[in-house]
Amino acid sequence: MFNVVKAELRKMKRPSLTVVTFSIVAALSTLFTSLIFLRLGSTSDRPRGREIAQTVESMSHSDGAYYSFSIMGLFIGLIALTVFASQSSNEYTYGTLRNLLVRQPSRMKLLAGKLMAMIVFSILLTTVAAIVNISLSYLESAQGHVDTKLWISSKAISGFLTTFGNMVLGTIGYGLVGMSLGIILKSPMSAISISLLWFMVLENILGAVLSTSTKWLPGSALSAVSTGGAKIFTYQRGLLLSAAYLLLFGGVATILFKRRDVAS
Amino acid sequence: MPPLAISVSDLSKIYGEQTAVSHATFDVPLGSVCGFVGPNGSGKTTTIRMLLGLITPTGGTGTVLGEDIRSPEKYLAKVGAMIEGPAFYPMLSGRENLKVLADLGGFPHDRVDSLLKKVGLGERGSSKFKTYSLGMKQRLGIAAALLPQPQLLILDEPTNGLDPSGIQEIRELIKELAEAGTSVFVSSHILAELEMISEYLVMLRKGKVIFAGKTQDLLGNQKPITSVKPEYQVDLNKLVEIVKNLGYEPRVENGAVHIPVGAEIGAVLNRSAFEVGITLAAITTSQPTLEETFFEMTGE
């Protein structure tokens, strides 16, 4: 399986993929952090009944350094989903799957190796986002008069590690959805457009029309994992529901990958 | 019986109501070059894919290098294959594409450069695959097939897109590999090439094996062909009628009438043509080529 991971990572380290993907993550991280610091106000500035933005006080808390990172889960996840949907479905469109299977005939080992490579890539993606967000937060803290004393406390470090872990889990979850759809649909365009349409449009519409549905939708579940959960959607519920969806998608994709004739 | 590189018995693949391969039975001896021929859609690629574990047979059995085709992991490390044209990642260079496959198979990277040189891509190894011409893509496919230093090489149309010198190079390469003991199973539409290099032949038609055995047995059993060319092309139809009246079924090609019979027809035909005022410009008798035999047997 190590050979498969090595081969997958060799494919993925091509500049056209890494430079573009990591640049998008860095650009989004910059945008998120800058917007948060641009909109900083003091507690007294906050209009009654409106939670408009972070305040100077709230940003001085131990989670201030990685706050902007912690709210990026959906975006990093969708980037991972796009990358892995195209990586898995392109094996069918390019016809390269047959070469891979001649060199690694065990389809389960091939799939497991691809999954491992995806996990490595997801960790790298999340790490880049964390580095850019935290670095920029430090740079902008002086201008925003944010006290950073608590940012390097032990509470801050353990909080960051938990957030980072959740973000990685969420990103892997989205990536797995993309990878599964790529294998099921065998077309990067279909896999990416269907999943983006679902996560960015349909889930929101469903949630607005039928508010109870949000408790059961895959995007809400993955979002709860990335963000560490919320009152209406706890972390445990998010983990369980995400695991159920991933088992469903991953199971169908695994069965198809293992049994489907490679005739193209 | 000599040891076998490939042996299949009653191998079949059915998609819904369509039979792609029907009860195929043939053997390919170890160390031989075996041509695999058949018209488009006759089931060649499906058979090759079943041998490589890419398609599950509906019925029948088979072995490759003595191992069951249902356990491809037992033999594929010793098999090189290029199936239905070269397929690689367009954004990676030729070299990187080969390294991906070398990583996957656990082969050393130093083999990559020597193979690129061997197939004439030494100077273009760093160029992206998407910039390659069809001939270059084909060469890269052959390099990928040679990565494992195979005991058995399976090539599906390896000369597609190659110019005459490229075709000759591939022919020489196949001969060289065969001399070194590699078994080669090669499908091609260029039957004249296969005739030159193949010791054995497997011929498919509509999913069924219509011949499997030594090339010389196939060609040696064919009736000779006598080709007759009238002095004037306007006499061609009249000449066909004469041949039919003599009890033969002629075929007209390249301004000549081809008759499946030996030189004994020459005198009779010459006399009959002379009687109706036709002058024959040439009468030649030869053994049919593989191409002619193929057309005869497949009805294509």
pLDDT (tens digit per residue) in A41-77:
655 555 554 444 678 778 878 888 888 898 888 999 9
Option in A17, A103, A106 nearest B101 (CB): A103
Domain ranges, ordered by start, for chain B: 4-220, 225-298
| Number of helices and strands in chain A (H, E) | 12, 0
| Of the options 1.10.1660, 3.30.70, 2.60.40, 3.10.180, the CATH number for the domain spanning B225-298 | 3.30.70
Note whether A262 contacts B: Cβ–Cβ < 8 A.
yes
Per-residue pLDDT at B122 exceeds 50: yes
Chain B residues with CB under 8 Å of A94 CB are 87-90
Interchain proximity B100–A7, CB inside 8 Å: yes
What order of strands is seen across the sheet that includes strand B183-187?
A: B79-82, B152-156, B183-187, B33-37, B200-205, B208-214
Instruction: Tally the residues of chain B.
Output: 300
Can you give the pLDDT at residue A50? 46
Say how far apart CA B69 and CA A188 lie, in whole Å.
31
By the 8 A CB rule, do B82 and B141 touch?
A: yes
Instruction: Answer whether A72's CB lies under 8 Å from B74's CB.
Output: no
Q: Which pairs count as long-range contacts for A229-235, CB under 8 Å and 24+ apart, including other chains? A: A235/A166
Which residues of A are less than 8 Å from B85 in CB distance? 95
User: Does A17 contact B at CB distance below 8 Å?
Assistant: yes
Fold of domain B4-220: Rossmann fold (3.40.50)
List the strands of the sheet with B225-230, edge to edge: B251-253, B256-259, B225-230, B280-286
* E strand or H helix that includes residue B297: helix B290-298
**B128 touches A at CB < 8 Å:** no
Contact A106/B at CB under 8 A: yes
Q: Which of A102, A109, A257, A260 to mutate to test the interface with B (most CBs of B within 10 A)?
A: A102
- Residue with the two structure tokens 């009890």: B247
Kindly list the residues from chain A whose CB atom is less than 8 angstroms away from the CB atom of residue B16: none
pLDDT at A182 over 70: yes
Number of helices (H), then strands (E), belonging to chain B: the values are 10, 14
Find out whether B203 and B211 touch, Cβ atoms under 8 Å: yes
Instruction: Give residues with Cβ within 8 angstroms of B272, minimum separation 6.
Output: B242, B245, B246
% of residues, chain B, pLDDT over 70: 99
pTM over 0.90: no
The more confidently predicted of residues B216 and A96 is A96
Question: Could you give the 3-state DSSP secondary structure of residue B80?
Answer: strand
Residue range A205-235, pLDDT digits in tens: 988 888 777 788 888 899 889 888 877 788 8
Determine contact: A243 vs chain B, CB below 8 A: no
Sheet holding B67-68, edge to edge: B18-29, B4-15, B59-64, B67-68
In this prediction, residue B1 carries a pLDDT of 60
Do the chains contact at A3 and B90, CB–CB below 8 Å?
no
Query: Which carries the bigger pLDDT value, residue A248 or residue B160?
Result: A248
Cross-chain residue pair A98–B87, CB shorter than 8 Å:
yes
> How far apart are the C-alpha atoms of A118 and A12, rounded to whole Å?
9
Alpha helices, DSSP H, located in A73-106: 73-93, 97-103
* Domain spans in chain A, listed from the N-terminal domain onward: 2-32+59-134+155-259
Spell out where chain B has E strands. Answer: 4-15, 18-29, 33-37, 59-64, 67-68, 79-82, 152-156, 183-187, 200-205, 208-214, 225-230, 251-253, 256-259, 280-286
Token code pair at residue A93: 């469109």
Does residue B128 have a pLDDT over 90?
yes
What is the Cα–Cα distance from A64 to B269, expressed in whole angstroms?
Answer: 103
Rounded CA separation B90/B131 (Å): 8
Nearest-by-CA chain B residue for A261: B55
Nearest to A74 by CA among A184, A161, A174: A174
Which residue in B76, B79, B103 is closest to A10 by CB distance? B103
Both structure tokens of B270: 């010459």
Does the beta carbon of B41 lie under 8 angstroms from any beta carbon of chain A?
no
With beta carbons under 8 A apart, name residues in chain B contacting A95: 84-85, 87
Residues 183-222 of B with CB under 8 A from A: none
Distance between CA atoms of residues B184 and B150, nearest Å: 10
Which DSSP helix (H) or strand (E) runs through B94?
helix B94-105
Give the residue among B167, B205, B233 at the shortest CA–CA distance from B294.
B205
Asked if B144 has any chain A CB less than 8 Å from its own CB, the reply is yes
Residue B295 banded pLDDT, cuts 50, 70, 90: confident
Contact call for A102 and B55, based on CB within 8 A? no
Chain A residue with CA closest to B81: the answer is: A102
Report the C-alpha gap between A6 and A131 in whole angstroms.
Answer: 25
Judging contacts by C-beta atoms under 8 Å, the chain B residues touching residue A105 are: 53, 72-73, 76
Whether A3 contacts B104, CB under 8 Å: yes
- Given this model, what pLDDT does residue A58 score? 82
Please tell me which residue of chain B has the smallest CA distance to A105: B73
B202, with CB counted inside 10 A (0-12, 13-18, 19+), is: buried
**CB proximity A10 to B under 8 Å:** yes
**Closest residue in A to B145 (Cα–Cα):** A99
The average pLDDT across B106-129 equals 91
Q: Is B266 on the interface with A (CB under 8 A)?
A: no
Residue of chain A minimizing CA distance to B20: A263
Structure tokens at B155: 């090539």
What is the structure's pLDDT at A42? 55
Q: Cβ contacts of residue B108 below 8 Å, gap of 6+?
A: B102
Nearest to B264 by CA among B241, B281, B248: B248
Residues of chain B in contact with residue A99, where contact means CB-CB under 8 angstroms, are 87-88, 101, 144
Nearest to B77 by CA among B111, B106, B55, B49: B106
Nearest residue in chain B measured CA to CA from A101: B54
Q: Find the residue in A nearest to B88 (Cα).
A: A96
